Amino acid sequence: MQIKTGDAGNQALNRNVQAQEKAGENGQQKAAKQQRKSTIFAGDLPLHKDTITLRRQQAQKKAKELVQNAWNGDRKTDQTIGEYETLAEGQKKEILLNRDRIQECRDRKENLREGYGVEKDSQEQKDLELLERRYYPGNGEFADFDFTEEERKRLEELEGEPLTEYQQRCLEIDGEEQVFKIREGKAESALVSYNGAVRSIKQERLKHHEMLDAQNNAKKVMDEASKDIQGMIWEEAKDQVDETYEEQREEAKEKAEEKEEQEEKIELRKEQKELMEARIEAVREESHEAQEAQRQQEKDAREEAELLGDMADAGLNVSGANDAVKAEIKDMLNKLKLIEADIKGIEVDEEV
């Protein structure tokens, strides 16, 4: 059975094909977009975490270097102070050692005086002390080497006189004592220098506060790093918000496109439904027309059979007659039937 449709049906079919093609393209685009989302590129990786970590590590390293340098400097200063103090202790020992030697020399002379039986206020003892002041003016007990006129005259007299054994031995011991005295003086000078160096270093340390300054500088470095990291985090959050907004915008756009596709599909289904209903109605009409035509054919066949029967009853032989003749005969019989019906009607009227 052939179904005939008009222009509206053809347009609906064309729109159906176009919509299907567009749906296929949108599906391909969506699949490609999903594939791009599922693909990870090295350039798109979140490197900001590494950047923040690196910035924090750099700040920590710099702060540590500042404190470490100050610590090393402080330790070096302590080491220098320790070295000076060690040297000072050595000089103190040297001073004490030489003082002990000096005292031994004096004890030896005192033993000699007692051994030789020289009295402290004797002329021999006085002459010895005068000679000691002349030859060893640096000894502590003979610091005043200025002589009076009387002492000068006595020194001149002693030059022409021989020394006693006691005096000679005491002067030899004075020579030894002088060596120890010189050593003591050098040790005392060195001790003063070392103590002065330690004192100066400690005073300079109090002025500069290197460790405290280093700790403050380290804190500044970490504070600056914290500000930088906060800025990075802010930028990261901003980028993330922008990215999220963009994703939401894309999702909204996709949803709008999907909604539009759904509406187009609904409209397409509606048009398809209307088209199918039109087709069904056309089929129904054609079926009805066919049934009517069949009923008419059946009716014509019955009438023709009746006609043939009537003609046969009338003694007419119409076999081999064409359709035109049959139709004409049929028309005549119909008229006769009408006449017969009219006659029957008249008879009914008369009976009434």
Q: Out of 218, 242, 273, pick the residue that ends a domain.
A: 218
**Within this chain, do residues 210 and 346 fall inside the same structural domain, yes or no?**
no
**Within this chain, do residues 189 and 326 fall inside the same structural domain, yes or no?**
no
On whether residue 258 sits in a domain, the answer given is no
**Within this chain, do residues 61 and 171 fall inside the same structural domain, yes or no?**
yes
On whether residue 8 sits in a domain, the answer given is no
**Within this chain, do residues 58 and 199 fall inside the same structural domain, yes or no?**
yes
Cβ–Cβ < 8 Å for 181, 140: yes
On whether residue 344 sits in a domain, the answer given is yes
Domain that holds residue 134: 50-218
**Within this chain, do residues 197 and 332 fall inside the same structural domain, yes or no?**
no
Q: What are phi and psi of 7, to 5 degrees?
A: -65, -35
**Within this chain, do residues 73 and 182 fall inside the same structural domain, yes or no?**
yes
**Nearest CA among 222, 212, 220 for reference residue 73:** 212
**Nearest CA among 269, 276, 257 for reference residue 23:** 257
Q: Out of 218, 234, 253, pick the residue that ends a domain.
A: 218
pTM, full prediction: 0.46
Q: What is the 3-state secondary structure (H, E, C) of 117-160?
A: CCCCCCHHHHHHHHHHHHHCCCCHHHCCCCCCHHHHHHHHHHHC
> What Rg, from alpha-carbon coordinates, does the chain have?
72
Q: Out of 196, 218, 240, pick the residue that ends a domain.
A: 218
pLDDT tens digits in sequence order for the chain, 352 residues long: 444 444 555 555 456 556 556 656 666 665 555 555 545 444 555 556 688 888 888 888 988 898 888 788 888 989 999 999 999 999 999 999 999 999 999 999 999 999 999 999 999 999 999 999 988 876 555 444 578 999 999 999 998 889 999 999 999 999 999 999 999 999 999 999 999 999 999 998 888 777 778 888 888 888 998 888 888 877 877 777 678 778 888 888 888 888 888 888 888 888 888 888 887 888 788 777 878 888 888 887 787 677 667 666 666 555 555 666 667 766 776 766 666 566 566 555 555 5
**Within this chain, do residues 210 and 309 fall inside the same structural domain, yes or no?**
no
Number of C-beta neighbours around residue 59 at 10 A: 19
**Within this chain, do residues 79 and 213 fall inside the same structural domain, yes or no?**
yes
Q: How many domains does the chain have?
A: 2
Cβ–Cβ < 8 Å for 173, 109: yes
**Within this chain, do residues 65 and 212 fall inside the same structural domain, yes or no?**
yes
